[in-house]
Structure 1
Amino acid sequence: MKITAGKKEKKSPGIRRQVVLSFGGFILIILALLWVFQIALLGPFYRLIKINEVKGVAQTLENNLESETLEETASRLVNATNTAIVVSDELGRLYVAKKASEKYVRLEGLTPYDLRNIFDGVNLQGGTKMETYRSQVETWFGGTEEGILYARTVRTKSGLNRLILLESELTPVDSTLETLRVQLSCLTVVMVLLGGVLAFFLSRRIARPIAAVNESAKSLAKGQYEIRFEGSGCREVAELADTLNYAAEELSKVEGLRRELLANVSHDLRTPLTMIKGYSEVMRDLPGENTPENVQIIIDETERLTNLVNDLLDLSRLEAGVVPLDRTRFNLTESIRAILTRYDKLAGYHFPFQAGEAVWVCADELRISQVVYNLVNNAVTYAGADKTVSLCQTVENEKVRISVTDTGEGIPADKLKDIWERYYKVDKEHKRAQVGTGLGLSIVKNILDLHGGSYGVESELGKGSTFWFELKLAEETTALPDPQEAAH
């Protein structure tokens, strides 16, 4: 990667500037289209419309050439379109002659001879002819008169030949163009000013709440979790503010739990270290204190310290998703029985295990053993006066469920959904577990998530809690010959 010292990163334009530029560009495009269509293309459009109008009159006359109402139709068309009409045959005999105004002189005074020549000339050109003319007479508005001459020869259904001659005026549009030009100039100035004002206020309305949210987000990034985001203006900005407020609350909660975890872990680290140091100094300074009992205490506290560090490392790796699973097919029932035998040293505790059959699963045996250990350790920590932790194995729908039940105080219903979260602790006063490190449930959750297994907890205040997890069965499950409760 090549880094250029002293070169500032180019920032993209802000939302206010983008809104103003976009709005201004939109206004300029609209004005440009208005100028093009109303000024540059007005003349060609007008000519095209008049030509199509004349052709439409000719088509209507053609459809009514043998009708008894031809004369009435021609009169109606003259009044509607101000188009002069002449209808004759190939011999020059007139059938209709309608004058639109005094200005139309091209169709006046035509003799039968002229009509025959026109009929023959139009036939030679394919039966249709159109031309425009410009007179030398100036109009009252300035400019000269223009008109359209249109001729068409047709054969009726009865086989008769007819000539249709039409003449229509092209009104000069110079004065109209000048009027439109003045109007559009004024409209351009008004639209530019109005568009600028609207763009300014619109961009300000959109950009101000976003800028406020951005500044609050910077404070949130610095760890000020008590910050509140005020969303106003657009719905999306309000929703963004609500989302960031929720994120700030969650981050504040996580930060509190993180600090609590550090305090708890510090306490758990300090206790075995203090005992190790104390017994070591006693063995060093006092004659006769170098006994196997004191050495065993140091070994036990060292093991406790090692377990705590290992649990912290396991939790960190599990949450980072860097723990590979070594899936094998193993006997889950026997694995649990083997684990329970290691709790025999806990004087006064009982670990009954109900299992009706030997169940095989395909999973990481070491990690699943870690799940069982942590659930049992958690139950031992909160066991009731009878010091009994019960385990139960049930099989249903090709899944095996392992339940671990204690008879302790139970967990409030409003806290059940949080106990699996990292850093969470039900009782805020730090309680040093008799077995384990207090990080067990977080480790259980992450291991079961990696296996795709399900887990949960059922609890009632004053009656204890039951933690459970489920795994899919492997293909082979062997029934036990004499299923009975095994107490350890």
Structure 2
Amino acid sequence: MAKKARSRFSVRWKLFFFLALFTAFILTLLWLTQVLFLPDIYKTIKLSEIKISARALADGIGSPTFREDAENYILRGDMCVLVLKMLDENRAVEVLSLDTLPNCMIHNTDRASKFTLYDMAKQNGGELLRHYRYDDDARVYYSVEDDGYDRAENEIIVYAIIRQIKGERYLFLLNSIITPVAATTRTLNLLLMFISVILLGLAVLFATIISRSITTPIININESAKRLAKGDYDVSFEGSGYREISELAETLNHTAAELGKVDSLRRELIANISHDLRTPLTMIRGYAEVMRDIPGENTPENEQIIIDETNRLTSLVNDMLDISKFQSGNYAVELNETNITKAVSELLARYNSFAERDGYFIDFHYDDELIMRTDQSKVIQALYNLVNNAITYSGEDKRVTVCQYVTIGAGGLPSAVKFTVTDTGEGIPKDKLNRIWDRYYKVDKVHRRASVGSGLGLSIVKNIAGLLGGSCGVESEEGKGSTFWIEFPVYYNPTHEEAPDIN
């Protein structure tokens, strides 16, 4: 698989890039709203204010607080107001007049101009918006469309609406001034330049501080990970500042500890297996040389020793292959109908044939024979390893007891079978009972060469129990011995045609 290309940018530069991008976005937004489009925004706001105020006055006419409300509107909006009740096309009565602005057009023009605005608003559907400026020299109001209009000068806006209220017609005239913002824009330009420099500087500062607080623990973890990759399992991962980094450091510390345990147990296992391999090979070579060099030593006893040691080597290699198959998931199950009680009896009988030579005795207790559907070879292999483990750690009486218990389920039919293997040895400390099934684990550090087999049996027992859908366990008391047990579900009885698929 192709190696993924390494990123060219560090966390620090990426943080600076994103902070600079965010800063540029904020500054662009400020320039657009406060400089480039400020005159248009300001004008739009003023037009909106005058229209809203006119409509609010029209809706509130006749109210006891009408004048007070009108005063509030003109003070907030910086405008003047004139309300006329139209008697006919040429006559009107003043209802309200509030003048707060210099050069207020609606108050400084003659009555004809007001009627002109009325006529124009009437022709325009009852609403009119006009733009003017005032010439101080000529003392004349000019329309925006007149020649000589300069956007740098004050702009007067007049808004007129006509409303029919309770059978009477009213003309509402509002006047406001739009002041040029060129000077304000120049000031904002200068301020935004300083703000831009400050924000960019802060972006660099924050990127440096934040990246340092993030990258420092990551760099430390990376350096520790490199040491771990080289086999230094005592390395310590330190993470601080952020919860995710702390959790990563804790996980890596746990991983390093577990890898250290596995490596230690692996080394111990290799040493023990090397011992188990070397011992029978040494004996085979020694006896073979004696039988070759010394006349009369070619005896059946010596030949049997060579055969026994060869069988021991074969058993060790087979057990190692079994463990490898379990770990790779390539161990297949073959279910067949079998008399499991008879098969166990035959196994123990064969075991007793050579175990008794060393003074060991194996007893087997059961009530009734059990016929079930299972993988007989796997069950026998598991019991073989449990019995071998019991012989290896048996007490002075050298007696091992094997029992079969059948659990009766619904309908009075067998549902499970349990085998126990009891020895009278030293027992196992309670704090180590949960770990004896772990790969490579040994209760003590003193290697004992198994009387029969490889000494790797418990790991195989656990895997077989899981493979057949069963379970295993141990009960032990120091100084009184141990009872190992393994239990399998009964998949076969006369009313069952097929066993569940446990593969």
Is the TM-score greater than 0.5? Answer: yes
Q: 1:147 aligns with which of 156, 170, 187?
A: 156
2:61 pairs with 1:62 = no
Q: 2:422 aligns with which of 394, 397, 405?
A: 405
In the TM superposition, what is the alpha-carbon distance from 1:308 to its structure 2 partner? 0.5
What is the alpha-carbon distance in structure 2 between the residues aligned to residue 66 and residue 357 of structure 1? 109
Are the structure 2 counterparts of residues 170 and 365 from structure 1 closer, same or farther at C-alpha, using a change threshold of 3 Å? farther
What is the alpha-carbon distance in structure 2 between the residues aligned to residue 355 and residue 337 of structure 1? 10
In the TM superposition, what is the alpha-carbon distance from 1:130 to its structure 2 partner? 2.2
2:390 pairs with 1:395 = no
2:478 pairs with 1:461 = yes
Counterparts of 1:233-244 in structure 2 under 5 Å? 233-244=241-252
Amino acid paired to 1:53: E
Q: Deviations over 1:151-195 (max 9, x none)?
A: 222222x23222211111112222221222111111111121222
What is the alpha-carbon distance in structure 2 between the residues aligned to residue 2 and residue 468 of structure 1? 50
Amino acid paired to 1:239: E
2:199 pairs with 1:191 = yes
Q: Is the 8 A contact 1:361 1:471 kept in 2?
A: no
What is the alpha-carbon distance in structure 2 between the residues aligned to residue 263 and residue 179 of structure 1? 84
Q: Is the 8 A contact 2:106 2:174 kept in 1?
A: no
Q: Is the 8 A contact 1:153 1:162 kept in 2?
A: yes
What is the alpha-carbon distance in structure 2 between the residues aligned to residue 45 and residue 328 of structure 1? 89
Which residue does the alignment assign to 2:498? Answer: none
- Kindly, what percent of the aligned residue pairs are identical? 45
Which residue does the alignment assign to 1:482? Answer: none
SS in 2 for 1:466: strand
Which residue does the alignment assign to 1:132? Answer: 131
Q: Deviations over 1:341-362 (max 9, x none)?
A: 2222121434333444555555
Are the structure 2 counterparts of residues 71 and 275 from structure 1 closer, same or farther at C-alpha, using a change threshold of 3 Å? closer
Counterparts of 1:169-184 in structure 2 under 5 Å? 169-184=177-192
Are the structure 2 counterparts of residues 442 and 2 from structure 1 closer, same or farther at C-alpha, using a change threshold of 3 Å? closer
SS in 2 for 1:344: helix
What is the alpha-carbon distance in structure 2 between the residues aligned to residue 68 and residue 243 of structure 1? 76
In the TM superposition, what is the alpha-carbon distance from 1:243 to its structure 2 partner? 2.3
SS in 2 for 1:66: coil
Q: Deviations over 1:357-397 (max 9, x none)?
A: 55555543322221111111111111122222223324266
Are the structure 2 counterparts of residues 342 and 183 from structure 1 closer, same or farther at C-alpha, using a change threshold of 3 Å? same
In the TM superposition, what is the alpha-carbon distance from 1:136 to its structure 2 partner? 5.2
Deviates more, 1:324-333 or 1:174-183: 324-333
2:119 pairs with 1:123 = no
SS in 1 for 2:167: coil
Which residue does the alignment assign to 1:222? Answer: 230
In the TM superposition, what is the alpha-carbon distance from 1:144 to its structure 2 partner? 0.4
What is the alpha-carbon distance in structure 2 between the residues aligned to residue 26 and residue 362 of structure 1? 70
Q: 1:14 aligns with which of 6, 10, 13?
A: 10
What is the alpha-carbon distance in structure 1 between the residues aligned to residue 373 and residue 132 of structure 2? 97
Structure 2 unmatched runs, 5+: 138-150, 410-414, 496-503
What is the alpha-carbon distance in structure 1 between the residues aligned to residue 104 and residue 298 of structure 2? 137
Which residue does the alignment assign to 1:351? Answer: 362
Deviates more, 1:393-402 or 1:366-375: 393-402
Are the structure 2 counterparts of residues 242 and 74 from structure 1 closer, same or farther at C-alpha, using a change threshold of 3 Å? closer
2:413 pairs with 1:417 = no
Which residue does the alignment assign to 2:24? Answer: 28
What is the alpha-carbon distance in structure 1 between the residues aligned to residue 480 and residue 318 of structure 2? 32
SS in 2 for 1:411: coil
What is the alpha-carbon distance in structure 2 between the residues aligned to residue 308 and residue 2 of structure 1? 41
Runs (4+) of structure 1 exceeding 6 A deviation are none
Which residue does the alignment assign to 2:448? Answer: 431
Q: 1:335 aligns with which of 329, 340, 343?
A: 343
TM-score, structure 1 normalization: 0.88
Structure 1 unmatched runs, 5+: 479-488
2:269 pairs with 1:257 = no
What is the alpha-carbon distance in structure 2 between the residues aligned to residue 404 and residue 132 of structure 1? 107
In the TM superposition, what is the alpha-carbon distance from 1:477 to its structure 2 partner? 7.4
SS in 1 for 2:270: helix
Amino acid paired to 1:276: I
Q: Is the 8 A contact 1:410 1:459 kept in 2?
A: yes
Which residue does the alignment assign to 2:147? Answer: none
Are the structure 2 counterparts of residues 136 and 369 from structure 1 closer, same or farther at C-alpha, using a change threshold of 3 Å? farther
Q: Deviations over 1:308-335 (max 9, x none)?
A: 0111111112112222222445444343
Which residue does the alignment assign to 2:391? Answer: 380
